[in-house]
Amino acid sequence: MKLSELSAETGVAPATIKYYLRERLLPQGERLSATRADYAAAHVERLRLVRALVDGARLSLDEVRRVVDALDHPPQSRHELLGIAQAAIDGPAPDVAVSDATWATLSTLGWDGCAPQSVTHLQAALDTAARAGVAVTPARLRVYAEAMADVAVADLDGFADDPRRQEPAGAVHYVAVGTVVTDPVLVALRRLAQEHESRRRYAHGPDEGRRP
């Protein structure tokens, strides 16, 4: 298909598609002449993915490029694959020192075998929250971690069930994309859960928000 058709199919403006081509987020089409190229179904799928990562998961273009590179160069073992997919999403380890309190909490969870570079992402998030005046106590960190352990079991169950995991590219797609695009689902659920819990604790008037 022509670039104009790729645009019509995906709803992405031609100028944006050309930008993604220049930025290597989308592979070049098959060149037909100096000014024309042919695009295939794989371009439609990749373009939808890039838009989902940008709009839905709010990744920067550099982060999208890392996910796309991991998709194009998948590793061998399944555990290694998960690690590369995560690194592709999360970017380089931030240059922060992991506190003893953080290691202690991870240790009580049995998570102190996790790669130090993964732990620095957690520490950076904790440090940012603390700088904003929101210190996450070890007790609360533990509640959060246990909730995320349940989420991860469901994530990995889904990974084991998904037919695409059989081919490495499908597996990276599942892990990298599946995790990133469902982060906003978790965030939205957290808001709903807070709203429900807030109503349960504090609301006394008629329930104005109920579904009509």
Nearer to its own copies, 37 or 164 (CB): 164
The secondary structure of the chain, three-state, reads CCHHHHHHHHCCCHHHHHHHHHCCCCCCCEECCCCCEECCHHHHHHHHHHHHHHHHCCCCHHHHHHHHHHHHCCCCCHHHHHHHHHHHHHCCCCCCCCCHHHHHHHHHHCCCCCCHHHHHHHHHHHHHHHHCCCCCCHHHHHHHHHHHHHHHHHHHHHHHHCHHHHCHHHHHHHHHHHHHHHHHHHHHHHHHHHHHHHHHHHCCCCCCCCCC
**19, 27, 44, 48: residue in contact with its own copies (rule CB under 8 A):** 48
Least separation in angstroms between CB 75 and its own copies: 12
Least separation in angstroms between CB 130 and its own copies: 9
**12, 71, 84, 106: residue in contact with its own copies (rule CB under 8 A):** 106
Least separation in angstroms between CB 58 and its own copies: 6
Does residue 9 bind its own copies (CB under 8 A)?
no
Does residue 199 bind its own copies (CB under 8 A)?
yes
Does residue 141 bind its own copies (CB under 8 A)?
yes
Least separation in angstroms between CB 163 and its own copies: 12
Q: Which amino acid is it at 6?
A: L
Using CB under 8 A as the criterion, what x/- string covers residues 25-44 for binding its own copies? --------------------
**35, 41, 100, 110: residue in contact with its own copies (rule CB under 8 A):** 110
Least separation in angstroms between CB 82 and its own copies: 5
Does residue 76 bind its own copies (CB under 8 A)?
no
Nearer to its own copies, 37 or 118 (CB): 118
Q: How far is CA 8 from CA 1, 44, 181, in A?
A: 10, 10, 24
Residue 192 CA to residue 53 CA, distance in Å, equals 23
Nearer to its own copies, 15 or 160 (CB): 160
Does residue 15 bind its own copies (CB under 8 A)?
no
Name the β-bridge partners of 37.
31
- The two tokens of residue 209 are 């928000």
Least separation in angstroms between CB 34 and its own copies: 34
Residues 85-104 that bind its own copies (CB under 8 A): 86, 89-90, 103
